[in-house]
Amino acid sequence: MAAVTDLPRRAVTRGVKLAGLPLGYAGRATLGFGKRLGGRPAEAVAAELQARTAEQLFKVLGELKGGAMKFGQAMSVFEAAMPENLAGPYRETLTRLQEAAPPLPARTVHSVLARELGRSWRRRFEFFDDRPAAAASIGQVHRAVWADGTPVAVKVQYPGAGAALLSDLNQIARMSRLVALLVPGLDVKPLVTELKERVAEELDYRLEAANQAAFAAAYAGDPDVLVPAVVAGSDQVLITEWVDGTPLSQIITSGSQRRRDRSGVLLARFLFSGPQKAGLLHADPHPGNFRLLGDGRLAVLDFGAVNRLPAGLPGPIGRLLQLAVAGDSDAVLDGLREEGFVKPSIRLDAQRLLDYLAPLLEPVREDTFRFDRAWLRAQAARVADPRSPAYSTGLQLNLPPEYLLIHRVTMGAIGVLCQLHAEGNWRAELERWLPGFDATA
């Protein structure tokens, strides 16, 4: 096991790998240009170049674990908004980042377990599989059987994960221009800043255990959602009930439309019901954290990132959404000013603001709506085009700190729904779980 004192050397190695990405990208571009001169079609050269760049991106981010893998997971949620000619080569690569990373050696895992659970840690298990079953951004998961016969998942934190995670995120922030080339339209720095701010919470497995226990209690006996019970834990080891099921990433890739729709509705139901039922918002909605079970329920994993909302979702969200659906532009502008979304110094036309919001309201205007990549790409292009009125309107809006995580979870969930191409009655879900929203009123 690498000692903590090895972290500076390891950080330098990570930095070299990250710094190598633009060089690799430039090298492949040169190679592609040469092949094009050799007579190959431009489209074939571009496809090969994009595929190789995607593979290199996965290789570097996967080896880095920590912040790089977490950043890759965050990017994977937004790939649905990318133009198809760019999204295609990266889609599989980014999805792999959600659940894959090079494993820790067994001896390192054993050392962590001995330190966290005691030297006789093996006596607490009937069986422990040294091969990791999955990887998270700061740890990996092993399948085991607890002493009482309960199948369990054992999440073991990577040694030095905190320092490594911060180092990786700092490096990624410095290479934001390159990432912008790989994922056009993604504003990298705010995303990295938010990830860094949540490092301390995600490194604390005792806090994660408390979060998961609270969700498990709130959803005990729920017909739609399963949260595995917490069995035991320590600062850097978390043991929970094992859950089998089909990852959402697999359903995105090859699931039937029925399973896509079911997964999408349950994902939305869980995210919006969490603040009301548990006083918590699950704040990491990437597909690797969800499984569709054989009985039709959605299993939810990884509770390291949550937003504490003891009073539920803020009431103004539902009221403003209802006003927008009703077309009351003046009331919407007044409400957004009151909540801090429009600063007092900003002069904004109320109807132009409603025109900016109107396409985003489509999912709740009808009885059913199908999310898809084309719809999301259209929305992304509309607000990112400097020639569009929506672009200038968007620049005048502000995101208050208390809404930051709610906004990111909502956007992330929409990204997953578009990856799923899920159809459902989203308006009914919001009327059920969002305080102040009643589209029929």
The domains found in the chain, sorted by start residue, are: 4-98+164-186 (no CATH), 106-161+200-241 (3.30.200.20), 315-433 (no CATH)
Q: Provide the b/e sequence for 263-279 (b: ≥16 CB within 10 Å).
A: bbbbbbbbbbbbbbbbb
* Range of weakest confidence among 61-75, 139-153, 213-227: 61-75
Q: Is 360 helix (H, G, I), strand (E, B) or coil?
A: helix
* Cα separation, 67 vs 191, whole angstroms: 12
* Cα separation, 383 vs 118, whole angstroms: 55
**pLDDT higher than threshold 50 for residue 362:** yes
* Cα separation, 176 vs 19, whole angstroms: 12
Identify the residue with better confidence: 245 or 83: 245
pLDDT at 399: 83
* Cα separation, 18 vs 179, whole angstroms: 11
pTM of the model: 0.79
Smallest CA-to-CA distance from 365 within 290, 283, 440 is with 440
* Cα separation, 18 vs 97, whole angstroms: 16
Q: Judge whether 261 and 422 are in contact, CB under 8 Å.
A: yes
**Across residues 366-392, what is the average pLDDT?**
89
Q: pLDDT band at 27, cuts 50/70/90?
A: very low
